């Protein structure tokens, strides 16, 4: 066993330790420490990715030397390592770019506690990605919920508190259902570790009489995670939550937290239940329909928004719909498209949420569309970063968004059901049109003629641009080398089984 096999555990432990350490540091020291720590985490996750690619197989890390089916396990394959690297890069960029707003939104004496929350959130994200045990998944799911509530309420205004309460209510509902689903699965299979559970469920599923119970358990678990990630019709908390949070929190919540739940869902399907058993359940069709509704309703709401952050948040609801559409289509192609869209959306949406406050900064601190006229001219860097991300959301070639839409189309063709193909194609066309309408409208607005277009200095440091360049480059790389990433995701899904 290579030393690298310890790295997945190290990423979790290091983030937990950093969370505790940041409580004792000053705000600035905590920021520097967190950024350094994120770099170390990215390096470790990249090593794991390299290792799994070179050996060509996943590895399981048995904690405390208790072999399955008793102990707790961590598992790392290509897909987990890729997701970890990408999530950590987005996290790093969000912390780097959101710096200016943190001292404004948060009391100076509490600044270090924000980094504590960020580190704990990283630990929870890493644990959700690496874990091989459903109950560990539940515990870190709750830690993720609590920390995401924490990063939301650090901006102490009435609306964030209200948004946090509504966010928590939906999330607690989701956690409760997820827990019930896990308990039911444990009840029928006798295992919490994913691999023994799958073997047990496979033998149960061979008797058609057991399928009702299994469908119910998996269905409850799926609804729980769907509520938590904001699938239609459970998406109404999104605009307030993302729109009023401090920019770093908005970026992290929309691009990482909701995606981690979906990643856990995919992992549960493949590793704990078995994808062949899931295909025999009616869950896929329900997810497909809800996903399609989410795409349309999210896009229409985004079109009607008068506030740029609300528009971007509603567009998140639509993108979650895309991901569930891929899962609902099923098949390796559908899941590959869904996971690729998780990546594409993570780099794009975080870029949007980190750019909008900067556009607001040159528009009298207002995020309302009517005040943003010409803001892209007053701050050209922000205008360019916003436009690049907006093009990716619309699905213009070269950017990641185009590649993922192409993959969804391919997935719909490969399913072989004419009804699904027509539905998906119509919704893809309508949603691309709507996306184009509201994003192009915004781009025209921010570059439109205004009485005052002289560049203004708003006190953003060069590190902001560094973070945004990383996100934009990642976006373009995902778009240009989409086939490479799709192959890697496909290999990762193979390793899941």
Measured from the CB atom, the residue of 52 and 189 that comes closer to another protein is 189
Helix, strand, coil tally for the chain in percent (to 5): 80, 5, 15
- For residue 460, the minimal CB distance to another protein (Å) is 16
Give CA angle at 485 (484, 486), nearest 5°.
Answer: 90
Instruction: Using alpha carbons, select from 193, 224, 218 the residue that is nearest to residue 205.
Output: 218
Q: In whole angstroms, what is the distance from residue 292 CA to residue 156 CA?
A: 36
Instruction: Choose which of 100, 166, 280, 491 interacts with another protein (CB under 8 A).
Output: 166
Instruction: Choose which of 32, 103, 110, 176 interacts with another protein (CB under 8 A).
Output: 176
Binding mask 192-231 for another protein (x = CB under 8 A): x---------------------------------------
Phi and psi, residue 62, nearest 5°: -90, 120
**Is the separation of the CB atoms in 311 and 442 below 8 Å?**
yes
Instruction: Using alpha carbons, select from 259, 405, 272, 408 the residue that is nearest to residue 331.
Output: 408
Interface with another protein, residue 139, by CB under 8 A: yes
Interface with another protein, residue 453, by CB under 8 A: no
Question: And the tokens for 442?
Answer: 């915004």
Contact partners, residue 58, CB within 8 Å, separation at least 6: 52, 75, 76, 77, 78, 80, 495
Sole window of 72-80, 164-172, 207-215, 297-305 interacting with another protein (rule: CB under 8 A): 164-172
Binding mask 282-321 for another protein (x = CB under 8 A): -------------------------x--------------
Interface with another protein, residue 362, by CB under 8 A: no
Interface with another protein, residue 236, by CB under 8 A: no
61, β-bridge pairs: 74
- Number of shown-chain residues binding another protein (CB under 8 A): 36
Q: In whole angstroms, what is the distance from residue 183 CA to residue 173 CA?
A: 15
62 three-state secondary structure: strand
Sole window of 123-131, 181-189, 423-431, 438-446 interacting with another protein (rule: CB under 8 A): 181-189
Interface with another protein, residue 183, by CB under 8 A: yes
Instruction: Choose which of 28, 107, 108, 187 interacts with another protein (CB under 8 A).
Output: 187
Question: And the tokens for 411?
Answer: 């997935």
Count of helix runs (H) and strand runs (E) in the chain: 22, 2
Instruction: Choose which of 366, 381, 410, 463 interacts with another protein (CB under 8 A).
Output: 366
Give CA angle at 435 (466, 242), nearest 5°.
Answer: 55
Radius of gyration of the CA atoms of the chain, in A: 22
Interface with another protein, residue 360, by CB under 8 A: yes
Interface with another protein, residue 180, by CB under 8 A: yes
Measured from the CB atom, the residue of 143 and 327 that comes closer to another protein is 143
Give CA angle at 225 (400, 330), nearest 5°.
Answer: 55
**Is the separation of the CB atoms in 344 and 403 below 8 Å?**
yes
Instruction: Choose which of 39, 165, 433, 484 interacts with another protein (CB under 8 A).
Output: 165
Measured from the CB atom, the residue of 182 and 411 that comes closer to another protein is 182
Measured from the CB atom, the residue of 153 and 467 that comes closer to another protein is 153
Instruction: Choose which of 14, 41, 123, 164 interacts with another protein (CB under 8 A).
Output: 164
Question: Does residue 3 have a cis peptide bond before it, meaning omega lies within 30 degrees of 0?
Answer: no
Measured from the CB atom, the residue of 77 and 357 that comes closer to another protein is 357
The residues that touch another protein, with contacts defined as CB under 8 A, are 135, 138-139, 142, 145-146, 149, 153, 157-159, 161-162, 164-166, 168-169, 172-173, 175-176, 179-180, 183, 186-187, 192, 244, 307, 357, 360, 365-368
């Amino acid at each position: 066993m290579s030393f690298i096999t310890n790295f997945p555990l190290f990423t979790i432990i290091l983030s937990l330790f950093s969370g505790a350490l940041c409580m004792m540091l000053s705000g600035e020291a905590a920021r520097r420490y967190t950024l350094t720590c994120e770099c170390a985490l990215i390096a470790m996750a990249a090593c794991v990715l390299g290792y799994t690619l070179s050996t060509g197989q996943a590895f399981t890390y048995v904690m405390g030397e208790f072999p399955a089916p008793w102990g707790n396990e961590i598992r790392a394959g290509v897909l987990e390592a890729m997701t970890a690297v990408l999530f950590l890069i987005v996290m790093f960029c969000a912390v780097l770019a959101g710096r200016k707003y943190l001292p404004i939104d948060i009391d100076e004496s509490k600044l270090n506690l924000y980094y504590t929350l960020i580190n704990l959130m990283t630990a929870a994200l890493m644990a959700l990605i690496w874990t091989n045990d459903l109950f560990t998944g539940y515990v870190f799911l709750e830690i993720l919920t609590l920390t995401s509530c924490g990063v939301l309420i650090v901006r102490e205004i009435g609306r964030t508190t209200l948004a946090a309460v509504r966010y928590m209510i939906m999330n607690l509902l989701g956690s409760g259902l997820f827990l019930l689903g896990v308990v039911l699965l444990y009840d029928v299979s006798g295992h919490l570790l994913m691999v023994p559970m799958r073997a047990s469920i496979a033998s149960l599923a061979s008797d058609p009489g057991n399928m009702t119970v299994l469908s119910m358990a998996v269905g409850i678990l799926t609804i729980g995670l769907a509520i938590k990630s904001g699938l239609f019709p459970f998406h109404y908390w999104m605009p307030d939550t993302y729109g009023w949070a401090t920019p770093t929190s908005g970026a992290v919540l929309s691009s990482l937290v909701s995606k981690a739940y979906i990643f856990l869902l995919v992992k549960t399907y493949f590793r704990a239940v078995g994808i062949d058993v899931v295909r025999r359940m009616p869950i896929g069709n329900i997810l497909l329909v809800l996903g399609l509704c989410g795409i349309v309703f999210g896009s229409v709401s985004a079109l009607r928004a008068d506030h740029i952050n609300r528009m971007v948040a509603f567009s998140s609801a639509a993108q979650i719909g895309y991901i569930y559409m891929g899962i609902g289509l099923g098949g390796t192609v559908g899941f590959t498209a869904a996971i690729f869209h998780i990546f594409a959306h993570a780099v794009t949406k975080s870029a949007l949420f980190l750019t909008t406050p900067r556009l607001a900064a040159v528009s009298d601190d207002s995020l309302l569309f009517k005040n943003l006229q010409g803001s892209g001219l007053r701050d050209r860097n922000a205008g360019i970063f916003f436009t690049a991300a907006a093009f990716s959301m619309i699905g213009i070639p070269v950017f990641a968004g185009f590649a993922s839409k192409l993959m969804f189309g391919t997935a719909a063709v490969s399913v072989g059901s004419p009804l699904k193909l027509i539905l998906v194609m119509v919704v893809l066309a309508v949603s691309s049109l709507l996306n184009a309408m509201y994003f192009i409208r915004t781009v025209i607005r921010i570059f439109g003629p205004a009485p005052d277009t002289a560049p203004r200095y708003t006190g953003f440091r060069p590190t902001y641009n560094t973070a945004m360049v990383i996100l934009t480059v990642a976006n373009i790389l995902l778009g240009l080398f989409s086939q490479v990433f799709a192959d890697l995701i496909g290999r990762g899904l193979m390793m899941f089984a």
